[in-house]
Structure formats: structure tokens, C-alpha cells
Amino acid sequence: MSAATAWTIPEVRAALDTGKISARELVKEFYARIERHNGELNAYLALSPDRAYAQADRIDAAIASGDALPPLAGVPLAVKDVISTHGIPTTCGSRILEGYRPPYDATAVTRLEHAGAIVLGKTNCDEFAMGSSNENSAYGPVRNPVATDRVPGGSSGGSGAAVAANLAVVALGTDTGGSIRQPGSFCGVAALNPSYGRVSRYGLLAYASSLDRIGPFARTVRDVAAVMSVIAGRDPLDSTSAAAPVPNYVAALGRPLTGLRIGIPDDYFAEGIDPEVRQKVEGGIRLLEKLGCRRVSIRMPNTEYAIAAYYIIATAEASSNLARYDGVRYGLRVPGGTLIEMYQKTRGRGFGTEVKRRIVLGTYVLSAGYYDAYYLKGQKVRSLIARDFHEAFEKVDAIVTPTSPVPPFRLGERTSNPLQMYLADIYTVTGSLAGVPGISVPTGKTAEGLPVGLQIYGPAFGEDRVLQLAHAFEQAGGAEL
Ligand code: GLN
């Protein structure tokens, strides 16, 4: 890929302030790059130039009249295609929503635009956010900009790739079991899954409502913090959004790490971890120690049940959430025959294989005879996993793990084995089940040059601490380990 200015938020601001570039010119530059590279990467599914240029012109007008600029003025933003954008196609990577244009914006998008960000378009993802490689998109896979024969991770693969390839400065993704953190790790960028309830889900097309969260991708931790400061906070339109006050995440970044206790769960380094990933994460932990952190060995004894519990709870909720795609209200309709036949044809043709697998699985675990054996048991395991985190945070300030047990794999390498694909979510689904925040930051590269991610978990609503650790790690050269 051609080298380009890798803009960060402060660089955009400085360029606008000094008149080096106008917001309109910046948008033009990004669309030119997208035009050059999207054919190969397939990171964007839809572009929104009218809306982007209109916003850019508003910012340029504010600059011309000397008005104070909002914090994200002129920052080019990519939005995962499961997040509603008024009038811009929103497909969830599915045929069943082909042609659907939401009549409203998600709260996160409204807030970012209000803060001056510019929506460039919508990014590719696994269908309804179900997947870990972006290969489940009905509109084709995304290629990893770092190594184009590899997957970018999933399900927010387009958002990770767009930021890594400088096709956006920041991006929104969603994470239900790892879909922000794992593509962040695979694409070599910073990516935060906030606490459950920290960011409004209003306008997010639901996959598993008790697990879904919206969060940012960016090239620096500082930029992740800047986006979080805008999108976090109570929203009357989402009753599960929390009223807890929103700290100034950027201001919290500079604090020293001296004395912070980082928990290293032995259970996470047991089996199935790639040796190079292990080595890079160990190196990352040593760097945190050099920065003043104290390493504490901890146990997370229920980790081995996390994948099973996650895939029961997530599919159960998905089977219910996806019942609304019936050919009547949104997107695709395959007409013909009776009403039931129309439903069958529409859903049969509109959903892909993985989505159907999960609807069937979810319906099964909720069905009368199996509810106690599967769904109820899954919920009990969820409580035990949350307790593992809770007990750990009585002894430590943060928990450090790999983000993914493996580096980015080749396209097609794992598509024939869904279970193998599910098992790779082991380090991320635990935090999803527990509701706690987790960030992935680059911790060096494998011998082949593939990015490895270090995950930092904090207690619920401890985003400021997670960001503080990740920022210090990044500033100390964590990405070059
Ligand atoms: N890979 C996990 C799944 O397929 C996580 C997806 C997500 O976080 N949206 O469910």
C-alpha cells in the first residue's frame, strides 16, 4: 500500500488551525485514498460523500468566522455497518437488509457529528457481527492491510482495516465477544471495548443485547480516549446506558503507572496459545513492569467454560433479536405463496450460513425441554465468570492478557471449522460476559511481521485506568517490542 499521512486527531486539528488544509480538502484526500485502496481491501460497504462534504463545509465556515471548534472538528470517521446512520445504507453485512436506509442516527454517531467528526461511510463486518474474521460478510471478506492474504479479524474487520490503512482517522466498531479488540489486535491499532452500559446502544442493530457494546478504533490510545470522551454517558434513549459520570479520558492519560498492580491470569497462558503471541505478550508485561507496575499472578478458574457459556447466551439472544427480519418491515422481501412461505423464502435467502446456524442453536437452547440444561446453566456460568473478575479486581488494578491466542490467519484457513473459529475468542468473551472494559494495543510483531495485541482489562467503568496503562505502554514503544 502506498505510504500516506497517518493522521491523528491532534494532527487534524493542528492542520485546520494553521490553515494547512481545509476540512473539505481533508475529506477529499480521504476519499481519494479510499478510491485507490478499497477495491483491494473491501473495508467500506457504502460511502456518504454528500453528508461528509456538508459537515466539512460547516467546519470550514466555523473556522472562517473564527468560532471555537468542537473537540473532533474535521476528524474523518468510519462507522461499522451495524450502527444506524440516517439515510445511509445500513446492511449489517447481510443480504436481508439490502437497500435498508435507517430513518435515524445512532446516538454515538449523533454525538460524534455534534463534536465535529465527519462520517465518511460504513464499514464491512461479519453478518450481524457474528464472526471473528470478517469472512461471514455477504459482501465479501475484508483484507488485512498489514498482510493482504490475511484476515483483518472480526466482526468489525472493516473498521480495523480502515484505520490501519489510513482510510479513516477513527472508526466505530461493536463488540459482543471480542469484535472490537480482536480486529484491533489483527490490524495493529488501538481498540477499546467499553464497559457494558458506558456507551449508548441506541441505533445499534442488536446481535446479543446483554453483551453488545459500541467502541472506538484509532491509531493512538489518545485518540481512542478522545472519542470515548464524546460517546460515553447516559442516553435517555437507551435504558441500559449508565448514569455514572464520564471522566475526561484524555486528561487521565498522563498519570504515572507507579505501584499499579497488574494481574496475569495463569489460566490464560495454558493451552492453545501461539508461542510467538505468548512471547510478545510476555515482553509487553515486562515493559509494563519497567514502567512501574507490579506483576501479580492470579487465577480465573472459570475461564474454561467461557466459550460454551458465551455461545449459548449470545445465540439465544440472537435468535430472538433476528426474528424481526421477516421481509415485511425492512430490506429484502422474497415474495410468493402464503405469508409463512414468504417468511421462509426471505429468511432462507436473506441470511447466510453462520447466522442461520446461530438462530437454530439459539432457538434450541431456549426451547422448553432444553432451557434449564443450556440457557440457565449458561447464565450461571456467566455469574461465575463475572465473579472471577470481581475477585481479581480486589487484588489487582488491571488484568493483562493476550487479545487473541493466534496472529492474523490466512483468508479461508478456518472457514470450514466453526468450532475452531469460536475457540479463538477465549480471551475476549470472558470480559464480555463480565461486562468489564478491555483495550487491545499493539505489542510487537511476529517474525513474519504480523501484529500481536496485548489486552488490558479494568474493572467496570474503569476505562480511565485501562487507557492510562495502554497509553503509557504505547508511548514506551510497546508496538515495537
Ligand atoms: N467472534 C464472536 C462471535 O462470533 C464475537 C463477535 C462479536 O463480538 N460481535 O460471536
Active-site choice (94, 156, 179, 440): 179
Contact 232, 112 (CB under 8 A): no
Mean pLDDT computed over 7-29: 98
Q: Is the CB of 438 under 6 A from ligand 1?
A: no
Instruction: Tell me the backbone φ, ψ of residue 344, rounded to 5 degrees.
Output: -60, -45
Ligand 1: atom nearest CA of 207 is: 9
Does the pLDDT at position 372 exceed 50? yes
State the pLDDT at residue 454. Answer: 98
Does the pLDDT at position 1 exceed 90? no
The length of the chain is 481
State the pLDDT at residue 419. Answer: 87
Of 130, 213, 114, 116, give the one whose Cα is nearest residue 172: 213
Among 1-5, 315-319, 368-372, 407-411, the range scoring the smallest mean pLDDT is 1-5
**Is 94 a residue of the active site?**
no
Task: Using the mean position of ligand 1's atoms as its centre, give its distance from the Cα of residue 327 in Å.
Answer: 25
Task: Using the mean position of ligand 1's atoms as its centre, give its distance from the Cα of residue 155 in Å.
Answer: 6
Does the pLDDT at position 267 exceed 90? no
Angle between helix 23-41 and 9-17 (nearest 10): 140
The amino acid present at 19, given as its one-letter code, is G
State the pLDDT at residue 33. Answer: 98
383 pLDDT band, cuts 50/70/90, is very high
State the pLDDT at residue 349. Answer: 97
330 pLDDT band, cuts 50/70/90, is confident
Mean pLDDT computed over 20-46: 98
130 pLDDT band, cuts 50/70/90, is very high
Q: Sheet harboring 44-47: ordered strands across?
A: 44-47, 118-123, 76-80, 170-175, 213-218, 190-193, 438-445, 451-457, 398-402, 261-265, 294-298
Q: Is the CB of 129 under 6 A from ligand 1?
A: yes
List, as one string, the DSSP characters of 334-384.
Answer: ---SSHHHHHHHHHHHHS-HHHHHHHHHHHHHHSTTTIIIIIIHHHHHHHH
Among 36-50, 116-130, 411-425, the range scoring the smallest mean pLDDT is 411-425
Does the pLDDT at position 45 exceed 60? yes
Distance of CA 142 to the CA centre of its chain: 15
Mean pLDDT of the chain: 96
222-238: pLDDT as tens digits: 999 999 999 999 999 99
- Residue ranges of E strands in 72-230: 76-80, 118-123, 170-175, 190-193, 213-218
Can you tell me whether residue 439 is helix, strand or coil? strand
Q: Is the CB of 136 under 6 A from ligand 1?
A: no
For the chain, first and last CA: distance in Å?
Answer: 23
67-93: pLDDT as tens digits: 999 999 999 999 999 999 999 999 999
Q: Is the CB of 425 under 6 A from ligand 1?
A: yes
State the pLDDT at residue 193. Answer: 99
State the pLDDT at residue 4. Answer: 56
Active-site choice (80, 122, 280, 445): 80
Can you tell me whether residue 58 is helix, strand or coil? helix
Angle between helix 353-366 and 306-321 (nearest 10): 100
List, as one string, the DSSP characters of 284-303.
Answer: HHHHHHHTT-EEEEE--TTG
Does the pLDDT at position 275 exceed 60? yes
Ligand 1: atom nearest CA of 432 is: 8
Q: Calculate ∠ Cα 177-180-182, nearest 5°.
A: 75
Burial 382-402 (b: 16+ CB within 10 A, else e): beebbebbeebbeebbbbbbb
> Rounded to an integer, what distance in angstroms lies between the CA atom of residue 424 and that of residue 274?
11
Q: Which domains does the chain have, with CATH numbers?
A: 3-252 (3.90.1300.10), 255-307+373-480 (3.90.1300.10)
State the pLDDT at residue 411. Answer: 97
Of 460, 390, 442, give the one whose Cα is nearest residue 193: 460
Mean pLDDT computed over 130-146: 98
Q: Is the CB of 354 under 6 A from ligand 1?
A: no
The amino acid present at 395, given as its one-letter code, is K
Mean pLDDT computed over 327-346: 94
Mean pLDDT computed over 386-407: 98
Of 149, 214, 221, give the one whose Cα is nearest residue 186: 149
Q: Is the CB of 60 under 6 A from ligand 1?
A: no
Contact 333, 327 (CB under 8 A): yes
Can you tell me whether residue 187 is helix, strand or coil? helix
**Is 179 a residue of the active site?**
yes
Ligand 1: atom nearest CA of 156 is: 9
Task: Enter the DSSP assignment of 81.
Answer: T
Task: Using the mean position of ligand 1's atoms as its centre, give its distance from the Cα of residue 13 in Å.
Answer: 34
Does the pLDDT at position 3 exceed 90? no
Does the pLDDT at position 253 exceed 70? yes
The sign of the dihedral angle between the CA atoms of 396, 469, 241, 320 is negative
> Rounded to an integer, what distance in angstroms lies between the CA atom of residue 479 and that of residue 247?
27
List, as one string, the DSSP characters of 87-101.
Answer: TS---TT-GGGTT--
> Rounded to an integer, what distance in angstroms lies between the CA atom of residue 429 and that of residue 451?
20
